[in-house]
Structure 1
Amino acid sequence: MDAAVAQTPTDRLMDALAPEMAAVNALIRARMQSQHAPRIPEVTAHLVEAGGKRLRPLLTLAAAKLCGYDGPYHIHLAATVEFIHTATLLHDDVVDESQQRRGRPTANLLWDNKSSVLVGDYLLARAFQLMTDTGVMRVLTILSNASATISEGEVLQLTAAQDLGTDEPVYLQIIRGKTAALFSAATEVGGVIANAPEDQVRALFDYGDALGIAFQIADDLLDYGGSSAVIGKNTGDDFRERKLTLPVIKAVARADDAERAFWRRTFEKGDQRAGDLEQAFALLTRHGAMDDARADALAWSEKARAALKGLPAGEIRDILDELADFVVARIA
């Protein structure tokens, strides 16, 4: 197969923005150092160097370039976005008691929960330092609001995840906090730093918001085997952790009394038994919950693509358009 054909949109963005991304990585390495607390760079390097795709900082760089920016501060903003993302991962792994991240042991497992939480706090502080370097108050407002929304979404998930009363609007609010808030902030600040017209800044926000929602719904679907009727070996974590995601919310809304009793036992009471995951999947399939959630993800992907139409044409816009398809291709 031709190498160019095999490239993902993320790979193509990385190629198109290689010099800028190299500068972002250098800035990240410089700013994650600590003169007095060597554990900070140890913990940070474990996660930052773990080989993530750096999608969020790439979105900031892409948005700035799309709007014709030629100054230095998109590098600072991209690093800011990555620091916020990394801090949330450190905190999430503690909350979820996770043991693996990107195929490697989590920081909280290798060190301890206290180190993970405190280093996450340090990265958030570094993120705010980087924001202020730009001297643009609107950028600070957007990214600080996103940070608050992320935290709010995580707390909302704690209280709503095992409550069968959780409906689709609440789920949407949770995933806007968990995922879409940083996607939309990443794209929006790229337009703001480029001093783009307001309609373009709004279009960039709308693109990031829809892309993030499509991405998270697709992720939640994959936990139940995606669009397949076969449960794979890596599925079921959300079920075991009793996280109410969109497919289950749809199935619960359509459940009869016996089915609702099953969901109440497995999610609200946490009484899970052998065969329950298979039973859950059968109920999702019976009520068309998987297909409907998949349709929702594809609709959000289309909203992301539609938002791009008001932005300058060119290679970057084309790649962002393909990216909107790519995030849902795994469930198509």
Structure 2
Amino acid sequence: MRRLISVFLLFLLLAAGVTAWQWSAWRDFLQSPVNPDGPVALWIAPGTSFGGLVRQFEALGLARPDWRWRLYGRLHRPGLQVGEFLIDANQTLPALLARLESGRVREHRWTLVEGWTLRQMRADLADDPRLRHESRGMDTEALMAALDCAGCEAEGRFLPETYFFIRGSSDLDLLQRAHEAMDRALADAWARRDPELPIDSPEELLILASLIERETGDPSERAQVAGVFKRRLERGMRLQTDPTVIYGLGEGFDGRLRRVHLRTDHPWNTYTRHGLPVTPIAMPGRASLEAAARPADGTALYFVAKGDGTHQFSDTLDQHNAAVDRYIRGR
């Protein structure tokens, strides 16, 4: 009898030891970081089970086959949300799953750069692997129709800003938001325009803003450049701005503007034609829209690039020719 009791007590001690060991292992499992080496990006596809999530962890080197994973999945039965998640470093399993159940998916950013053309913008979007490319293969007319603006001019109609999106979003969604943002920004600039501005419509304001955007990257000069354009339009002078010529040359431009280009007529050449070109030549930002709407006062009718990102402004043709000699021919 004593021997039987001794065996029973030994069994109880062994069971208690095993239970204590398992409890300690379970506690360590719940408290240890799943990703101690740094943040981890996870993509949860529709229909992903907890077992599928564990297999992703195994592929990333964050987990090994273990009874504790199976037990946690049976006890917790997490409701995983679809999307891409960025998991911070040193996350415990409960904290990690709370993030995956929250629906707080990882946001990406895409920046439409001021001064980009439509061609540059579409090329940049087409190279972005985070997006679903629904606009690929669409010509300009089909693209604008897909954005509920059939027959609209596309160049210049998207506002340069940074837009946030989640992986797998459609590129058309980004373009729709950028298009609507430009509509709002243009309407606001038009409502606050100088009443003496010699243009007749928001579309002409957008064209003027695109010229300003391409002429200078110096924020302090935008209103001055706009003032020169305003005075030249009022006096019936040709705008004679190089970026319009370059835009009209398209992909044929090799980076060097020649005299023959200035004399070759096309709908955007402001050396051969009076007034504004037929369309915008780039995507103007908010600052250029504001400058176009409210040009700076002054007397300058000419400007020439100094070569350092700024311009020399002149009132007379003689002054301008002297500035050209100094900054262009002298260079």
Q: TM-score range by the shorter chain?
A: under 0.3
More helix by share: 1
The structure whose Rg is larger is 2
More strand by share: 2
- Normalising by structure 2, what TM-score? 0.23
